[in-house]
Chains A and B, each alone.
Chain A
Amino acid sequence: MSLSDVGRPPVTDDAPPDNVKTPEKAHSKWPRRIPWIILGILVVMGLAWFATWKYRPPELHGVVLQSPQQASDFTLTASTGERMSLSDLRGKYVVLYFGYTYCPDVCPTTLADLHKMAEALGDKKMEDVQVVMVSVDPDRDTPERMAQYLAFFDPRFLGMTGTVEEVDAAGTQFGVYFERHEGTDATGYLVDHTSTVTLIDRDGYVRMMFPYGTAGEDMASDIDYMMRRLH
């Protein structure tokens, strides 16, 4: 030490030289990261929103059921003339409708909708689908009459008829009631009946119920969704 060092503060060993950056003096990286984090959160939210939109349950028009039991079987006479049970149609999706050929308006509109449904599904998918109409007027609806009537709407449709007791037993299980009442001379007696359409899957479980008035294209898209989900 020289005389000129007197008065200068002592240099201690643990004071760092000025050209070294200490951690305490280093600039924090966090302020730079915050925009990235916000961007990351927005990306995650965007992906979640997109996934929710893409994989959302579809807007179904019918009512979906989760039945633990298969639909009750019934045996009737088909429009082809042979005796047929609902269980004979296992392996295909059955679209079941209860109506009658002398029906003035409700049945023709529903059958027209079912034809539109068949057209919307297309020939390929319709190979796995069987539309069945059960007559609630078995006294007038013979198998031959049903075959003629249904051919007018779609050659793929199948009719079924039988005795009043057989049809009543079949209809009751599907929420269908029917009752005769007086009509006009032109129409003969009329039959009040429930006009819902029921979808039964390949294994015989009731899957969906469409209320009266559901459009053909809507039924087709719902059935298409069910077919894809159930295979």
Chain B
Amino acid sequence: MNTTIESNVAAGNSVDSGGSRPFWRRYRFKWLHLLYISLMLILALLMAFAIFQPIQVLPRVSLSPGFAFTDQDGNRLTNEDLRGKFVFYNFTYTGCQEPSCPDSGPAMRAIQQKVADIDTGDIPVEFVTISFDPEHDTPERLKAYAEGLGADTSTWHFVTGDPTRLKNVIGGGFSTYYNQKDDGTFTFDPTFVIVDGWGIIRTKYKTAHPDLDIVERDIGLLMQELNNSEGASRIAYEAAHLFLCYPD
């Protein structure tokens, strides 16, 4: 006997009458559908990566300048000594007194304390204050300044050097403006810079009082990137650099 549509209709059976059979019964597999689905999946993944930005990195802004200066104990400190460490830099002079001068020393002390509380694993973090007033800031004066701040000098160096070299390093390398006025005091833009173990500048805070939460976040991002720099996650972190996944 034929199972024609007519006989089915005559018998009152529901055939393909446009909607009374559910879609998932009517579906017929086609290879083209597979292509559509896989393209949609890839698009969804790209959008997810863009929207949710699962990995953020700090940009590698520029090479941090080379320098060779003298610290508060009269010892030489060069940028090579700091390779392999995360370093915070700030720029000031001991003659800087609040409120007429935005001294970033106390804020650096706060950062040093904050970093001590964060678990940085076995990655060393150090601090360098460069004074652009070598005329007055002798090693003894720098030492007194350090003690006045309550600085932990095992990881915090107070340095200065030759004026021309200072200009090249601070003004050129770290892009921080400073200028000596006729009365011997200085005008300058208070700046903090973070440099990573490769000697690459990662971020700058153009303020005398950086937000400690942001500092903690940035150190966290740098630690994460360093700890994840092997294997498959390295690809993801380099992709984050490529796609410019930077925090606000």
Contact = CB atoms under 8 A, between A and B. Distances in A.
Contacts of B67: 172, 177
A63 B61 CA distance: 12
A33 B66 contact: no
Interface in A20-34: 20-23, 28-30, 33
B221 to A, nearest CB: 15
Contacts of B1: 17, 19-20
Given A19-B3, A57-B239, A44 B38 contact: yes
Interface residues of A, number: 50
A26 B152 CA distance: 82
A176 B79 CA distance: 8
B135 interface: no
Nearest to A171: B66
A105 interface: no
Given A20-B8, A177-B66, A44 B41 contact: yes
A69 interface: yes
Nearest to A40: B34
A206 B63 contact: yes
B60 A64 contact: yes
A72 B21 CA distance: 72
Interface in B69-93: 76, 78-80
Nearest to A60: B238
B66 A174 contact: yes
Nearest to A13: B12
Nearest to B196: A63
A177 B61 contact: no
B165 interface: yes
Interface stretch (B142-150, B167-175, B176-184): B167-175
Contacts of A198: 63
Given A57-B238, A64-B60, A194-B79, A20 B66 contact: no
A173 interface: yes
Contact of A179 (B12, B14, B68): B68
A128 B7 CA distance: 80
A4 B8 CA distance: 30
Contacts of A69: 62
A177 B11 contact: no
B42 A177 contact: no
A209 interface: yes
Interface in B43-60: 59-60
Nearest to A32: B29
Contact of A67 (B34, B41, B61, B173): B61
Nearest to A52: B235
B237 to A, nearest CB: 10
B168 A169 contact: yes
B247 interface: no
A11 to B, nearest CB: 13
A106 interface: no
B11 to A, nearest CB: 5
Contacts of B107: none
A14 interface: yes
A196 B79 CA distance: 13
A172 B13 contact: no
A201 to B, nearest CB: 14
A178 B79 CA distance: 10
A168 B68 CA distance: 11
A171 B59 CA distance: 22
Nearest to B237: A57
A44 B34 contact: yes
Interface in B204-248: 235, 238-239, 241-242, 244
Interface in A133-185: 165, 168-169, 171-179
A21 B3 contact: yes
A66 B63 contact: no
Contact of A175 (B3, B63, B244): B63
Interface string B182-200: 0000000000000000111
25 contacts: A16-B13, A20-B3, A20-B11, A21-B3, A23-B21, A44-B34, A44-B37, A44-B38, A47-B38, A48-B41, A57-B238, A57-B239, A63-B198, A66-B61, A67-B61, A68-B61, A168-B168, A169-B172, A175-B64, A177-B67, A192-B78, A196-B199, A198-B63, A209-B63, A209-B198
Interface of A: 13-14, 16-17, 19-23, 28-30, 33, 36-37, 40, 43-44, 47-48, 56-57, 60, 63-69, 72, 165, 168-169, 171-179, 192, 194, 196, 198, 206, 209, 211
